[in-house]
Chain A
């Protein structure tokens, strides 16, 4: 197949070793390739150089408060479902310096303009791409454009991957975000045993793919991929009834369930840190001992932290009941009104990583049941 046949929407097939070369090409073009990597029996997202750094032959088994890796030994790289980390750590870094200032007579800024890294994300799942699109609405608005986020987002290369083996905590089908990718990527990969099927999603994706060796996929290969994706969709067991969800929650601010879940919730903030759409941050000063220089840093924060809602006179949400209610009614309720998009993408991380096994799909069902009774 020649380069000129490659157009937006084209699908080709290439050997898995070609992905290795593609990552090399990306790095030669100034991208930092970041992707899934097996570390401490968990999938993390970190700098990767090629296929050797990907989690080969690894399946994940996720359940409420449970996360296990299973070795399959297969020559497959994307069978697992992502772990606690999400891509938000690259676009919205957990810690980032806002500015540095020095007192030389008067206070003044110290110029420090490090160019933003240009990332190529390798292995973005449908729910994760949806999460990036949710954060786009938060950070890139008409009335506020976050320069840290924007500088990373604008130069981004996204190699997406269709999920073929959802975990028990996944519910992207209910949220309408997956498991199959639709748009918004540069390249999208569906993994078969022998080859990757690659769909072109952008001009950048086309030009990166053009220098690789590929074939037209046979009807058989296409069919195998389609069947695998259908199986993935049908195999998703966890669901959330989203009917009239924002209204359901905002009309049930006094539901009894909030007190009940408030007793189980530890307010540990795990759910907000693993959530790929949670965007709250705090800013703190790191000052030298003489008080002559300071670095102001932005750090991830969570609405579950007691200090989060502190005003003079105390915390406006002193009870865990009200903090959990705040989180859920924002994420699944008023978020929609604020950003014209739903705040939850159905990735299930908050279910897997909640040490108290709180499952937001159960909580929503319980609140819905309270309305009916």
Chain B
């Protein structure tokens, strides 16, 4: 594959050889996040692995529960903010991720990674940033938010559009104040409100009509249901933001994380190694082909 889309850190916890063997990690902390969503903080059992493990926000690990199998899960914090702990926010919906709901502090799981491309946080320095995410699409972007906050002066206007199904489904609510204090314009919207909800009801892409972007210096980072991302892309393109500056994180079935098992192949890419984060310019010919 000649197209290198985004620089990726090497498999820093990786192996030169046994790329399919996980490292054991221990659950250190469990935080119930929302209905059916839990955040796990983990530490590698082997101190040497713990020391050398690095990743970039947007990358993912293969999260292994012995007896159940593996699931591709994005890191949902950066290492610095989490004091060196690995953080995964998991929605309990599939075979493996349902099994994670029964994990207790002290349990061991397997971790392989990090895999894939990351959010282009260096390339977009100096630009305005619009982060548009929905549902479980926020965790893969939270590490990027942390990183932007720690280097806040390197970025222009930062807007965070976040949508969830109901107010109960909103994740990391205690952090919103910190984010807003860091001069992030955060806009939250839900599909259905409840009796206490006074905020906005609606979908994420429509928020583009509530503020002005400068297409020459705006980057869009989006992650969430594909239908949401599709409309985020429409709105961004309609504002003349170039496809090269619209970054999208894709989800596909993955078994290896290294472009070897075939599952996530789509057109000329393996989503696991050429993605999951792509500039939309790399997907223009395939993203809207139904069932491709």
Is A bound to B? yes
Interface set of A (CB-CB < 8 Å, partner B): 98-99, 101, 103, 106-109, 138-139, 143-147, 250, 253-254, 279-285, 287, 291, 294, 298, 301, 303, 308-313, 316-319, 321-322, 325-326, 329-330, 334, 337-339
> Across the interface, which residues of B come within 8 angstroms of A108, CB to CB?
24
Asked whether any CB of chain A lies closer than 8 Å to the CB of B7, the reply is: no
In the complex, the answer to whether B66 meets A317 with C-beta atoms within 8 Å is no
Q: Which residue of B lies closest to A322 (CB)?
A: B291
Q: Within the complex, which residue of A106, A144, A311, A338 is in contact with B268, where a contact is CB–CB below 8 Å?
A: A338
- Partner of A311 from the list B2, B253, B269, B270 (CB cut-off 8 Å) is B253
Chain B residues within an 8 Å CB radius of A143: 258-259, 273
Which segment, of B12-20, B139-147, B187-195, B233-241, faces chain A? B12-20
Min CB–CB distance B164 → chain A (angstroms):
16
Asked if residues A301 and B17 are in contact (CB atoms below 8 Å), the reply is no
With A106-B108, A312-B94 as contacts: A287 and B67 at CB distance below 8 Å: yes
Give min CB distance, A257 to chain B, whole Å.
15
Q: Which of A138, A139, A250, A281 contacts B255 (CB 8 A)?
A: A281
Q: Is B110 an interface residue (CB 8 A)?
A: yes
Our pick among A301, A309, A317 for the contact of B261 (Cβ within 8 Å) is A301
Does B265 make an interface contact (CB < 8 A)? yes
Chain B residue contacts of A301, Cβ below 8 A: 255, 261-263
Q: Who on chain A is nearest to B273 by CB?
A: A143
B20 touches A330 (CB 8 A): no
Do residues A109 and B21 form an inter-chain contact, with CB atoms below 8 A? yes
Q: Note all chain B residues with C-beta closer than 8 A to A310.
A: 253
**Complex CA distance for A341 and B251, rounded to whole angstroms:** 27
Could you tell me if A337 and B268 are in contact, using CB atoms closer than 8 angstroms?
yes
Q: Which B1-29 residues sit within 8 Å CB-CB of chain A?
A: 1-3, 16-21, 24, 26
Given contacts A145-B17, A250-B267, A283-B20, 13 further A-B pairs with CB under 8 A are A107-B110, A109-B21, A143-B258, A279-B262, A280-B263, A283-B255, A283-B256, A287-B66, A301-B263, A311-B251, A311-B252, A337-B2, A338-B265
Chain A positions within 8 Å of B263 at CB level: 280, 282, 301, 308-309
Interface residues in B245-292 by Cβ distance below 8 A to A read 251-253, 255-256, 258-263, 265, 267-270, 273, 285-286, 289-292
Q: Which residues of B contact A139 (CB under 8 A)?
A: 260
For B108, list chain A residues within 8 Å (CB).
106-107
Please indicate the chain B residues that have their CB under 8 angstroms from the CB of A330 in the complex.
265
Q: Measured between C-beta atoms, what is the minimum distance from B5 to chain A in Å?
A: 13
Question: Lowest 8 CB-CB distances: which A-B pairs, in order?
Answer: A280-B262, A322-B291, A287-B67, A337-B268, A334-B268, A107-B108, A144-B258, A294-B67
* Secondary structure type dominating chain A contacts: mixed
Query: What separation, in Å, do the CA atoms of A108 and B26 have in the docked complex?
Result: 12
Whether A98 lies near B20 (C-beta < 8 A) is yes
- State the B residues within 8 Å of A (CB): 1-3, 16-21, 24, 26, 45, 66-70, 91, 93-94, 108-110, 225, 251-253, 255-256, 258-263, 265, 267-270, 273, 285-286, 289-292
User: Is A318 within 8 A of B291, CB to CB?
Assistant: yes
Alpha-carbon separation in the docked complex, A69 to B225 (Å): 53
With most chain A CB atoms within 10 A of its CB, the pick from B3, B68, B94, B265 is B265
Provide 21 A-B residue pairs closer than 8 Å at the C-beta atoms, listed in order of the A residue.
Answer: A98-B21, A99-B21, A103-B66, A106-B26, A106-B108, A108-B24, A143-B258, A145-B16, A147-B18, A281-B255, A281-B261, A284-B69, A285-B67, A285-B68, A301-B261, A309-B252, A311-B251, A322-B290, A326-B265, A330-B265, A334-B265
**Once bound together, how far apart are the Cα atoms of A101 and B110, in whole Å?**
11
Q: Which residue of A lies closest to B270 (CB)?
A: A338
Give min CB distance, B234 to chain A, whole Å. 20
On whether the beta carbons of A106 and B24 are closer than 8 Å, the reply is: yes
C-alpha gap A147/B18 in the complex (Å): 7
In the assembled complex, which residues on chain A have CB atoms less than 8 Å from the CB atom of B3?
337
Closest A residue to B106 by CB, please name it. Answer: A106
Given A109-B21, A309-B252, are A283 and B289 neighbors across the interface (CB < 8 Å)?
A: no
A138 to B260, CA, bound (A): 7
Report chain A residues within 8 Å CB of B258. Answer: 143-144
The residues of A that contact B289 with a CB separation of less than 8 Å are 253-254
Closest chain-A Cβ to B68's Cβ sits at a distance in Å of: 6
B226 to chain A, nearest CB (A): 9
User: A291–B1 contact, CB under 8 A?
Assistant: no
Chain A, Cβ-Cβ closest to B68:
A285
Q: How far does the Cβ of A250 sit from chain B's closest Cβ, in whole Å?
A: 7
By a CB distance below 8 angstroms, the chain A residues around B66 are 101, 103, 107, 285, 287, 294
Q: Is the Cβ of B259 less than 8 Å from the Cβ of A144?
A: yes
Residues of B within 8 A of A313 (CB): 225
Q: Nearest A residue to B274 by beta-carbon distance? A: A338
Selected from B17, B70, B261, B291, the residue in CB contact (under 8 A) with A316 is B291
Are A326 and B292 interface neighbours, CB within 8 A?
yes
Q: Is the CB of B252 within 8 A of A303?
A: no
Complex contact A280–B67 (CB within 8 A): no
B262 touches A303 (CB 8 A): yes
Q: Is the beta-carbon distance between A282 and B67 smaller than 8 angstroms?
A: no
State in angstroms the CA–CA spacing of A282 and B110 once bound together: 17
| A142, B263: Cα distance in complex, Å | 20
Contact of A283 among B67, B70, B94 (CB under 8 A): B70
In the bound complex, CA of A67 to CA of B232 (Å): 53
- Find the B residue at minimum CB distance from A99: B21
Chain A residues in 8 Å Cβ range of B16: 145
Contact B255 A282 (CB under 8 A): yes
Once the chains are docked, how many angstroms separate the CA of A9 from the CA of B269?
A: 40
Docked Cα-Cα span, A287 to B268, in Å, equals 36
Q: Which residues of B contact A138 (CB under 8 A)?
A: 260
* Known contacts A279-B262, A280-B262, A301-B261, A309 near B253 by CB under 8 Å: yes
